[in-house]
Structure 1
Amino acid sequence: MSDDGGEGVGGQVRRYRTARRMSQRALGAQAGVTSGFLSQLETGRANASVSTLRRLADALGVSLADLVAPGPVPSGRVVRADRRRRFSATDGMVKWFLTEPPHGHVEMYAVEIEPGGSTGPHQYRHGHAEEVILVTRGRVRVELAEEAYDLGEGDTIVFASSTPHRVANPGEDRVELVWVNSPPTPE
């Protein structure tokens, strides 16, 4: 163990963690290590195995090379259109991540819903966040508990993720949305 003052791998872990506004406890939980170990790693009093570094990199949303190559942490994170992660949901709906984990305080998706597609057959709820939907193409129906809203291009709706909700495309054309959760919630 070398006391590098946190300027090596541990320093990079700390820089990425603080740039993502993550606590040691949150990062440790995602990577499967203790916050005490992270504290020692970040201050150069402990070393990490390659498998642990891979888990830390995954939890931080960076590559292993980002952790082992010293240097500044970029202040912005770019997600290139041709490299968006795709999440195929059920019932004719596809999401593309516009933000990469860790998200910080916001999570964004580009969503396409085929004719007759939806978020599922039933309303669902999750977490304690706000959701915003912006319709960029077509028309969509948003069900919130006992209420329903028909939205067209340019329309937005804001609601609590804890409210039972369902989004559906009752039309004959594909719908495109931008969907935001703040803060990110588990689905």
Structure 2
Amino acid sequence: MSESETARLGARVRAYRTMRRMTVRGLAGEAGASASFISQLERGQAGASVGMLRRIALALGVTVADLFSEDDEVGHRVVPRSGRPELPAGPGARKYLISQRPLRNLEMYAGEFDPGASTGAEPYTHGDSQEILLVIRGEVALWLGPPGEAARHVLGPGDSVEYRTSVPHRVANEGERTAEVLWVVSPPTPAT
């Protein structure tokens, strides 16, 4: 890569890292690199192997191609309901990505929970971002806090709750109808 290409790559890595509110050390830890290497990469003073770029992209929640894209403008992107990318979810649960990659300022997901379905048996965390859960249809229970200490909230259509993604949380449909929810997370959390 030329010096200007290396500098542009470093600037994009820094931009995605700061957008995600990650420190240089945080990104280095997630990518399996040293903080000094990430710092040099961001300043355009070092290049990276394809393997390292893959680990950095994964830690930032983008693709390797996004790290090289010169297109900072996000145009209108219409995604029909049938075209939403489906993400892994537990039995009886479906999760769809609504915001399109590369995730810049926020991420948004739609979820459907059949009766008895949940996000899993255990609460989970992801990063330290602001998350909003909005119930569109049906009713869900949300637990916030560590196991054994979690507060339980029952939410119906139109109800919402806001919390940090670093707080253990779990969603379950204890009702008799399919529930539909939306999650909005800002800034996007690193991929784990």
TM-score range, shorter chain: 0.5 to 0.7
Q: Following superposition of structure 1 onto structure 2, how do residues 66-85 of structure 1 map, counting pairs within 5 Å? A: 66-68=66-68, 71-74=70-73, 80=79, 82-85=83-86
32-41 or 137-146, which moves further after superposition? 137-146
Partner of 1:135: 135
* Contact 2:7/2:45, CA 8 A, preserved across alignment: no
Shift of 1:53: 2.3
20-29 or 167-176, which moves further after superposition? 20-29
Partner of 1:36: 36
Q: Does structure 1 residue 168 correspond to structure 2 residue 172?
A: yes
Return the letter of the residue paired with 1:87.
Answer: P
CA change 1:67–1:126 in 2 (3 A) is closer
Shift of 1:51: 1.8
Partner of 2:47: 47
Partner of 1:14: 11
Gaps of 5+ in 1: none
Deviations 1:114-139 (A, max 9, x none): 012223456x3647665432111112
Superposition TM-score, scaled by structure 1 size = 0.68
Identity of matched residues, %: 40
Q: What secondary structure, in the 3-state scheme, does the structure 2 residue paired with 1:45 have?
A: coil
- Determine the C-alpha separation between the residues in 2 that align with 1:72 and 1:140: 39
Higher relative contact order (CA 8 A, sep 6+): 2
Shift of 1:36: 1.4
Partner of 1:154: 158
Return the letter of the residue paired with 2:53.
Answer: L
CA change 1:172–1:20 in 2 (3 A) is same
CA change 1:172–1:106 in 2 (3 A) is same
- Determine the C-alpha separation between the residues in 1 that align with 2:63 and 2:100: 12
Gaps of 5+ in 2: none
Return the letter of the residue paired with 1:73.
Answer: D
Partner of 2:118: 118
CA change 1:77–1:10 in 2 (3 A) is farther
Deviations 1:162-184 (A, max 9, x none): 76754322333211001245664
Q: What secondary structure, in the 3-state scheme, does the structure 1 residue paired with 2:88 have?
A: strand
Deviations 1:8-43 (A, max 9, x none): 134223224324414332322222222212233333
| Structure (1 or 2) with the larger CA radius of gyration | 1
Partner of 1:89: 90
Superposition TM-score, scaled by structure 2 size = 0.66
Aligned residue-pair number = 181
CA change 1:56–1:136 in 2 (3 A) is same
Return the letter of the residue paired with 1:86.
Answer: L
Q: What secondary structure, in the 3-state scheme, does the structure 1 residue paired with 2:112 have?
A: strand
* Contact 2:130/2:186, CA 8 A, preserved across alignment: yes
- Determine the C-alpha separation between the residues in 2 that align with 1:93 and 1:68: 35
Return the letter of the residue paired with 1:62.
Answer: V
